[in-house]
Structure 1
Amino acid sequence: MTVAEPERVLWPLNGAGAPVAPSAPAVVGVADLRATNAAAVLAVVRSADPHPRLSELVKATSLSRPTVEAIAEELADCGLIEVAPALSARGQRSPGRPARRFRFRPHAGFVVGVDVRPRSVTARLADLDGEPVAAHRLTVHADISGRARAQAVVSAIRAAMTEADVDTPHIWAATIGTPGLVDRSNTRVRQADNLRTWSDTDIVGILREELHCPVAVENDANLAALGEQWHGGGKGSAEQRLTESGSAERPLTEQGSAEQHLTGPGSAESGSVEPGSAERALAESGSVESRSAELPLTGPGSAEQRLTGPGSAESGSVEPGSAERVLVESGSTESRSDGPSLAESGSAERRLTEPGAAEPSPADPPPDALTDGKTGEMLFVLLGERLGAGVITGGRLLRGHHGAAGEIGFIHFPDPSATPNDPAPASTPTSTPTPGLQPLADSVISGVGVGDPGAVLAVEGYGRRLAAGLAPVLLALDPALVVLGTGRFRTPDTTAAAELLLNAARDHAARLLVDPPSWRLSSLGDDAVLTGAVRFALSSVEVVLHTRPTSLMARVRGV
């Protein structure tokens, strides 16, 4: 079955401006009214706690009971909602059968997030709540061609889908995180110096043909910044998160994925399922997914379970702060965001109701209810095999005119020999200066844990050089928070080196800046890119769920 991608796909988190509404009044058809009302009913079902009864849906939407009942049946028939099991009535007398309550079915569809690196490809499958369902990681040769790397991406996704028993029509969006420069439309990798012929490979077209759904490609540091803002070091206070999601948080359990080697296209690999739990809200939700295969496995069958993030995992959301209007033109609806939120949402959706029905006018939440200072103004620094950064400003991802914002790997950082007591790390060349910072050698990182004085000096020097190179960027952006990626510090014995690097960079930056930001280590580690990729993909699905939800089920039915 081949299902064509819609002519226009909205990726609300790509930092692009919202579509401009036409000045002429839109013509409203019966199908448009029904789609908009279905979106309104679905939004209430997803946000209500406890699960709403039919009468509560009528009250919340201001629609007539027959209309709501018909829409509920249609949504149930599409598989987007279901009748919730009756609450226990032990010890209570009931005069008759309890009223039906409805709940959202997050497994009605799924999204895919992919993390592409020089030596690995990881794919993760998440449901419409953003909960991890399955994950698969392949190890590849660093010098394979772009076509072979694309085949590895397809193989990893297919393995995750097989593990979760999910077929192609139930995949509704996918996002690939990759090193390098990505164009503004999120359709092409413009440059990737460390991935051979990758920029010559149409990975978006290949996956679109494979999955028959909207596909986007985005810079890995940008996705890591979105992931940290959503579930990591950049998330706001508990009160703010409740404002965004409409529900309390629940901890996640997770299970790592098994790593196998891919020597050529088509090799079979085994993956792992990553179970998790979180509550669903009005807008998109997601989860922090499992660490990479190098980390201890947790979850069912393991000796321990751990919480991802500082204490708990949150139910994220596409912030409902937009003044969204539903523009209805001859059978189609289009979302428009006028506010500072990261994505277009249905919080201020103008619902078109039947004649005589009252139209609710919910007020938009104030901007500071959507993002606190640290969440809205943040710099994520990717410290892996390459150096990069993702910038969140005004609560949105900053991509720049060419989509190259945050490419700090092209900065010429201070030479270590130019600063007293700052010896060059073991992996840093001392010949002709080159842009960026070479990663610290593993021996240096591990040496800090055993108290090697030379390793301590090297890591401190690296931190000072990082701060000195970032100082002009921080002066220009004035972020409230800098998050350092911890992909190079995966195990407990490297924690000392990570904290030493953080403290050295923070202390040196404080002497160079007017208003120094807060500094934190990433709480997501290797999961930051994948978490952001899932969030990015979910944001596209959310646009449809908030405007024409039943159209998504046409994929499953082959219409």
Structure 2
Amino acid sequence: MGRLTGGDPSLLRRINSSVVLHALRGAGTSFSSDTTDCPTLTDLTRVTGLSRPTVEGVVEGLIEAGLVVVESAAEEGGAKRQGRPARRFRFRAEAGHLLGVEISPHRIAALLSGLDGRIVGAGSREVDESLGADDRLERVRQVVADVLRRTGVPRSSLRAVGVGTPGIVEAGGTVRLGTALPGWTGLPLGERLRRSFRCPVLVENDANAAAVAEHWKGVGQDTDDLVFVLAGLSPGAGSLIGGRLHRGYGGAAGEIGALHLLGREATPEKLLSTTGEPLHPLDEQAVAVVFAEARRGDAQAQAAVERFLQRLVHDVAALVLALDPELVVIGGWAAGIDGVLEPLRSELERYCLRPPRVALSLLGEASVATGALRLALDHVEEQMFAVETTVTARR
């Protein structure tokens, strides 16, 4: 069993630096000045509980590192004093940038932020679902290049890139299984993209990324136990348990789209058929026609939609029974189906011992890219706020 030792002066400096940097980065909510959110040394000393010489030394080091800048001078306590007014300091969110990228069958989307996670640029492009891996990755590069050009951010400013993609993703960024995109199974996606960006690239399953996004900026901000269902032809789900993403042993947690294998005959092609023959081709355009016919009152189309909704309910219920989340968030294109929430709520009450809350995604089609951006931000925060510890064996 190990114990932490705090006698190393460099460790103490790291801890103090992390404390001060946290305070500066959160200055918009931590300080209550009437004139500015940029704190003075006195403000930082009060909030962190550190001595003034310690805070001053840490701030000077952060300035040298480019993470903090002297924003303006101000009078301490609002009173006029002789000599120089107190300096105010600002965390430089522009000292680096982060990217969140969504790669889906029909579009590529990218979000660009500073080190504070605030969006400074965005872009997207529709793509053909038949594109091969090389062509699809080239579209990713084009979308990112366009966002960087329009925002004036150099590629060298990127500190990390998060990517959300369909499929089962291994920890190193390789897509172990990806049937939604041609040539995606076995693709070393993280490695391929790192060649273009020359910074850390974090690849995650799209539903997992969307779950992170809803917890960060969406309907799930008030709970640490949620399931996000990316409802489509083959639904997938991402889960947060205790605020932490649950990926499973091999990254395959939440692949509820495979549950139809238990029913053998109940494939999506047959569920959504209005003719008795499997729906072909099975794509979102063909499915949209079925839903449009159902809205016009076509009995066969209405029956097909009902079968689809029942399958979705059963898939979600299986996950809810296993995880007991507080909240289920429905996203993806099927979230736009009229009346999708009520069947889910009523059936979950029927099947589940403790029915969760059910809500539509607040982020819509931006959920995957937003979650990918949060993953990139998490990575950079781990570096900025890392505290190196010395572990010694207990004798």
Q: TM-score, normalised by structure 1?
A: 0.60
CA contact under 8 A between 2:274 and 2:304: conserved in structure 1? no
* Contact residue 208 and residue 214 of structure 1 kept, 8 A: yes
- Contiguous gaps of at least 5 residues in structure 1: 1-20, 237-374, 550-559
Query: CA distance change for structure 1 residues 207 and 431 in 2, over 3 Å: closer, same or farther?
Result: closer
Question: What is the distance in 2 between the residues matched to 1:74 and 1:428?
Answer: 71
**2:247 pairs with 1:399:** yes
- How far apart are the structure 1 equivalents of 2:326 and 2:350? 16
Q: What's the Cα RMSD here?
A: 3.4
TM-aligned CA distance change 1:131 to 1:427, over 3 Å? farther
Deviation track 1:456-511 (CA, whole Å, cap 9, x = no partner) reads 5544443223212333322222222111114345xxxx5xx34x111112212222
Task: Indicate the structure with greater helix content.
Answer: 2
Q: Structure 2: 5+ residue runs without aligned partners?
A: 33-37, 389-395
On the 8 A contact 1:414/1:469 being kept in 2, the answer is no
Match for residue 165 of structure 2 among 157, 161, 178: 178
Counterpart Cα distance in 2 of 1:121 and 1:191: 20
1:479 to 325, 339, 363: 325
Higher mean C-alpha deviation, range 214-223 or range 94-103: 94-103
Taking the aligned partners of 2:284 and 2:346, their CA distance within structure 1 comes to 21
1:426 CA displacement: 4.7
Aligned partner (choices 316, 324, 335) of residue 470 of structure 1: 316
Letter in 2 for 1:65: R
Q: 1:41 aligns with which of 9, 17, 20?
A: 20
1:350-361 superposed matches below 5 A: none
Q: Which of 178, 197, 202 is the equivalent residue of 2:183? A: 197
Q: Secondary structure at the match of 2:153?
A: coil
Aligned twin of 1:291: none
| Aligned partner (choices 130, 135, 140) of residue 122 of structure 2 | 135
For 2:111, what is the secondary structure of its paired residue? strand
SS at match of 2:250: coil
Q: Give the structure 2 partner of residue 207 of structure 1.
A: 193
Superposed displacement of residue 534, structure 1: 0.8
Distance 1:125 1:164 in 2: 9
User: Which of 344, 362, 370 is matched with 1:505 structurally?
Assistant: 344
Distance 2:308 2:185 in 1: 31
**Cα drift, residue 199 of structure 1:** 3.0
SS at match of 2:204: strand
Residue 78 of structure 1: CA displacement?
A: 2.8
Q: Indicate the percent of aligned positions where both proteins have the same amino acid.
A: 37
Q: Hey, what does 2:226 align to over in structure 1? A: 378
State which of 218, 236, 243 in structure 2 corresponds to 1:232. 218
The residue aligned with 2:91 is 104
Q: Distance in 2 between matches of 1:488 and 1:67?
A: 55
- Partners of 2:224 and 2:151 in 1: CA distance: 35
Alignment correspondent of 1:532: 371
Q: Which SS does the other structure have where 1:38 is aligned?
A: helix
CA–CA separation in structure 2 for the residues paired with 1:542 and 1:187: 20
Aligned length: 373
How many angstroms does 1:80 deviate by? 1.4
The answer to which structure has the higher strand fraction is 2
> Deviations 1:178-237 (Å, cap 9, x if unpaired)?
101111x2421111112222234322122222222211111000111111111112121x
CA distance in 2, matches of 1:210, 1:65: 44
